[in-house]
Chain A
Amino acid sequence: MHELGIVFYIIKDVKQVAEENHVDHVSTVVMDIGEVSTVVPHLLTDCWRWAADKEDLLKGCEMQVNTIPAVTHCDGCQKEYETVKYGKTCPFCNSQNTWLLRGNEVEINSIIV
């Protein structure tokens, strides 16, 4: 539900990069979205279509989403495991002393011009 707000941030950043690189049209924006980032990719791309087409720089610009799998590290046994499958509790040693290693990214990877 916060995807539209995120799209406005992306547009601001892409505009800035385009200006710095003297680019007048962007054909694709590539995003890295973590599996547990709470961003829903299809809502992000829907909002993107609506907002991007209002900008000359981004008319027809596609958004490509790379999903980053979520991985949690366990301080109890120093192992890593899939966050989505096991959540906060380590499947190897049952410790809850765990933290997210990756998977909450909401990043602009690159633009293709």
Chain B
Amino acid sequence: MDQVKVIEIKKSVFADNEQDAENLRKELKSKGVYLLNLMSAPGSGKTTTLVKTLNHIKDKVRVAVMEADIDSDVDAVRIKLATGVPTIQLHTGGMCHLDAEMTRQGLDNVTLKDINLVILENVGNLVCPAEFDTGAVRNAMILSVPEGDDKPLKYPLMFTVCDLVLINKTDVMPYFDFDLERCKQNILMRNPKATIIPISAKTGEGIDAFADWLLNEVQNWKL
């Protein structure tokens, strides 16, 4: 009988991705490009929020958008038509998230020398994208009012990794049992350093605050 041999590995499955992500961040820093990873559940209003925000900032910063979806290019087409901002569509080939290598491959299609800010719209999902560092400078997520103020309790990792939480669809708050203060407490319990901005992509409320946050971040990244 063949001899059985055990080879010890003791290595995190995410270690390679974290290294790739760190390398990508350094490269982006040297090129003066700020990458924001925007996550959320499907239907929270990521694309509508982006359209509003892009129209607010496109004259102030050179911005591009990468759309990541399992299939279709509806979001990329919509953003391009509504804002004129350079937009590319990534397909994850059935995967529920983007990792640093996929993000890098996507960035290869963006002319980075003409760009200061890239917004990555990740796959709509509150679980998997939180596990994988994309190489972005910051993680942001959108939680919309109809989803409920308890989501930070149910999807702890997503809220732990996000530096910015946008609470969207505040215009429909009167119709839902959504307690904004309780929601903020739930978010801060997961991440005491999180910045929280209530917005309504429909009415435009809070979009200027998000735009200011973004422009300030890009400015500080360049320094």
* A contacts, CB < 8 Å to B: 1-2, 4-6, 9-10, 12-14, 17, 21, 23, 27, 38, 88, 96, 105-113
Q: Does B97 contact A (CB under 8 A)?
A: yes
**Nearest CB in chain B: distance from A91 CB, A:** 16
Q: Looking at chain B, what size class is its interface with the partner chain? A: 20 to 34
User: CA of A43 to CA of B142 in the docked complex: distance in angstroms?
Assistant: 28
Is there contact, CB below 8 Å, between A107 and B7? no
User: CA of A113 to CA of B2 in the docked complex: distance in angstroms?
Assistant: 10
Q: Does B14 contact A (CB under 8 A)?
A: yes
Is there contact, CB below 8 Å, between B6 and A10? no
Q: Does B74 contact A (CB under 8 A)?
A: no
Given A1-B125, A21-B7, A112-B4, 12 additional A-B pairs, CB 8 A:
A1-B96, A1-B127, A2-B95, A2-B131, A13-B11, A23-B7, A109-B9, A110-B7, A110-B8, A110-B10, A113-B4, A113-B6
Is there contact, CB below 8 Å, between A2 and B12? no
Query: Could you list some 6 contacts between A and B, CB below 8 A?
Result: A5-B96, A9-B16, A9-B17, A105-B12, A112-B7, A113-B5
Chain B residues with Cβ under 8 A from A88's Cβ? 189
Q: Does B196 contact A (CB under 8 A)?
A: no
Is there contact, CB below 8 Å, between A96 and B6? no
Specify which of B7, B14, B131 is in contact with A111 (CB 8 Å cutoff): B7
